Chains A and B, each alone.
Chain A
Amino acid sequence: MSPILVAQGVQKSFGAVTAASDVNLSFEPGAVAGLIGANGAGKTTFLNMVTGYLRPDSGSIRFDGRELTGHTPREITGFGICRSFQIPQLFHSLSVRENLLVAEGIAAAERVEEATDAVLEHFGLAQYAAQYAGLLPEGIRKLLDVAMALVARPKVLLLDEPTSGVAADEKFGIMDLVMGAVRGQGVTVLFVEHDMDIVSRYAARVVAFYDGRVIADGAPDRVLGDTEVRRYVIGEEAHAAA
């Protein structure tokens, strides 16, 4: 099966700081991959380059054979790549239902109202439907953010720390709902995550970033057991020294 998303020799610097250094990655349709790394390792920069928010200094990012570099986030969404955000990007003065109606309307769903109700039901958001998005608890904000990204029925879904800032007992619930929504639909999911329990449970593949480079890529057991990953990403030596 040919990969749906391919990054080749991607470089990105912000002044003296290198955020991406010769990143080469490819993802098959339907793959679920966890992107791990310490803060500033280059995970979110990679997502931002894929979605057109940042332009790589050099290299190429191709989706379904089409070069993404130079396209706007709106165009890239139209190609079939959607994302959620580390800090949920919602429409605060609109209700939860209206947030989803906006997303469904843009996605040109045939029956916007019914489609919205189905999403509310699937994500357990029905009880919050009339609440303003700006007044929601963090876990619900995260869920709504992801639900809005899924409304466009993407081929590739990028989730930036979907469980950060959420109570430990809610994290698995959120991921179960998200994975349940994409299961069996051939959607490629890349999620940035700091919680290794989440990574090892939901990712079939793990990509570890350090200092803008990919230092390990493969099955969760292998990557999470890698010496460099344990030192630079999980920080085991630091804990041991302490």
Chain B
Amino acid sequence: MRDRTVPALAIACAALLAAAPLAPQWLVFLLALALAKGMVVLGLVLLMRTGLVSFGQGLYFGLGAYAAALLAHRGGIADAALMIVAGAACAAAVAAVLGLLLARYREIFFAMLSLAFSMILYGALVKSSALGSTDGFNLHAKGFAGIALAAGTERRLFYAVSVVVVFAVAWLLHRYLASHWGRLSAAIRDNELRVEYLGASVYRVVYVNYVAAGALAGTGGAFAALAVGHVDPETAYWTTSGEFVFIAILGGTGNVLAPFLSAALFEGLRTVANQYAPNVWQMTLGLAMLAIIMFLPGGLWTLLRRRGAP
């Protein structure tokens, strides 16, 4: 079947951009959050394609959010573009160090180690009164790439920027997955021994993918911080990491569009459920996960694929 991912990405990007000036504020906020989380899940999909499940992407999500926020709050640089770069760079730098260790582990050991590192950050943030402890602190971007922002327009602008950045990254990841290294990642998931016997370094591929996933999570964290206007230790908490895994399983790893569809569905469900069934919505999510695992192990994307999706 012909791959129609790129046209689908372009159409989705154009539709979301067109919605920027027209959609109600609540919808812009919800979509911005979904895009930020979709970005994190995109990295998780890359790891899952390599056969790894991280329960610690909250570490990089939190780092990205706090790095962006601190740049404005403490560094006095309230330019959203620089804040996003800071979030991505900080997360990538930490992933580059931790990846040296984590790339040696697989399966439950990888999952638990990644969880442990995220909980270390959570613990440090909770104990740090200088960073607002459990309350966190607010942030406010005053401009974007040197252009001052008019009051009331910034949320829509950040949303539009996140649409462009997220879809550009999704396109790049789509190309990466179709490249030699992308195939190599899938080969590692299937049979590491054979990859080594063909002469490639499994460690190197896992390391590169891990750092890339960290950078994506950091970027997502910075976008989320800009959308919400606030950061707190919950960004690094294990339930946040679990949420990313939930979204990845909900959507499936079959296509780079899947994380965004499932993230939007997840945020939409949460918003509606919080309003109409605030006490049972987590139970509803649990049941949804059970149904997905039992009936659609490839995620919701398999439903779309049956209908001719790319």
Contact = CB atoms under 8 A, between A and B. Distances in A.
Interface of A: 51, 72-74, 77-78, 82-83, 89-94, 98-99, 101-103, 105-107, 112, 148-149, 151-152
Interface string B195-207: 1111111000000
Interface string B160-193: 0000000000000000000010011011011101
B180 A93 contact: no
A232 B147 CA distance: 85
Contacts of B200: 74, 106
Contact of B184 (A83, A89, A106): A106
Contacts of A83: 197
B199 A94 contact: no
Contact of B186 (A74, A94, A106, A151): A94
Contact-size category for B: 10 to 19
B194 interface: yes
Given A74-B196, A106-B200, A101 B183 contact: yes
Contact of A94 (B180, B187, B198): B187
16 contacts: A72-B196, A77-B198, A77-B199, A89-B194, A90-B190, A91-B187, A91-B190, A92-B191, A94-B183, A101-B180, A101-B183, A103-B198, A106-B198, A106-B199, A107-B198, A152-B199
Given A106-B198, A148-B198, A89 B193 contact: yes
Contacts of B201: 74
A18 to B, nearest CB: 25
A185 B193 CA distance: 27
B197 A94 contact: no
A73 B192 CA distance: 12
Of listed B186, B187, B191, B199, residue having the most chain A CB within 10 A? B199
A152 B198 contact: yes
B200 to A, nearest CB: 4
B197 A73 contact: yes
Contacts of A107: 198-199
Contacts of B187: 91, 94, 99, 102
Nearest to B179: A105
Nearest to B180: A105
Interface of B: 180, 183-184, 186-187, 189-191, 193-201
A77 to B, nearest CB: 4
Contact of A102 (B183, B193, B196): B183
A218 to B, nearest CB: 30
Contacts of A72: 196
Given A98-B183, A101-B183, A93 B189 contact: yes
A73 B199 CA distance: 8
B184 A94 contact: no
A207 B186 CA distance: 38
A91 B197 contact: no
A195 B191 CA distance: 29
A102 B184 contact: yes
Nearest to B200: A106
Given A105-B183, A106-B195, 14 more contacts: A51-B197, A77-B199, A83-B197, A90-B190, A90-B194, A91-B190, A91-B194, A94-B190, A98-B183, A102-B195, A105-B184, A106-B184, A106-B198, A152-B199
Of all A-B residue pairs in the complex, the 3 with the closest CB atoms, nearest first, are A105-B180, A77-B199, A89-B194
B196 A112 contact: no
A89 B197 CA distance: 10
A90 B195 CA distance: 9
A105 B186 CA distance: 13
A78 B197 CA distance: 9
Given A101-B180, A112-B180, A91 B199 contact: no
A171 to B, nearest CB: 23
A92 B190 contact: yes
B98 to A, nearest CB: 24
Nearest to A88: B194
Contacts of B198: 77, 82, 102-103, 106-107, 148, 151-152
A155 to B, nearest CB: 13
